[in-house]
Amino acid sequence: MHQIHRRFTDEQVKVLFQGYCQGTLARAEVEEMLNIGKTQFFALLKGYRRDPDTFSITYERHTPARLSAGVEAEIKRELLREKELVEDRRLPISDYNYSALRDRLQKKGTTVSVTTITKRAKALQLKDGKDLCVW
């Protein structure tokens, strides 16, 4: 939302929407004052009309900022398991399958991206055969 929550307070936006709903302000005027587009205007207006008293433009993150220690440990455990499969000469596996690893983690209720798994594998230096690093 173009960080509208940093430029305006809840009360300032409420006053503008109240003026729009009463007909004293035009939509284009409110959009210009808030520096937002039509789609964002109507998304915010919908929230305001739902409950004007509790309406807020504060930002709420929908994903965790950092992985918990338990998730990190689970990724490490799965990477080490994958390493055992790759190093087992009896199996025809020659490389890591990070997508399969991600799918196994999802079945356990842990959602992470393949990029995250790849970064953790590099931190562990799995391919070089060096000592495991702690991240």
CA distance linking residue 135 with residue 126, whole number of Å: 13
Q: Above 80 in pLDDT, residue 30? A: yes
Closest CA to 71 of 31, 107, 36, 112: 112
Flag whether the pTM goes above 0.75: no
Give the model's pLDDT for residue 2.
58
Mean pLDDT of 44-55: 94
Q: How confident is the model at residue 65 (pLDDT cuts 50, 70, 90)?
A: low
Give the model's pLDDT for residue 123.
86
Q: Above 50 in pLDDT, residue 108? A: yes
Are 30 and 19 contacting, i.e. CB atoms less than 8 angstroms apart? yes
Within 10 angstroms of residue 120's Cβ, the number of other Cβ atoms is 21
Give the model's pLDDT for residue 103.
94
Q: Above 90 in pLDDT, residue 21? A: yes
CA-CA-CA-CA torsion sign (91, 96, 99, 103):
positive
Mean pLDDT of 77-89: 89
23: DSSP letter:
T
Q: Above 90 in pLDDT, residue 72? A: no
Q: How confident is the model at residue 14 (pLDDT cuts 50, 70, 90)?
A: very high
Q: How confident is the model at residue 104 (pLDDT cuts 50, 70, 90)?
A: very high
Mean pLDDT of 107-115: 90
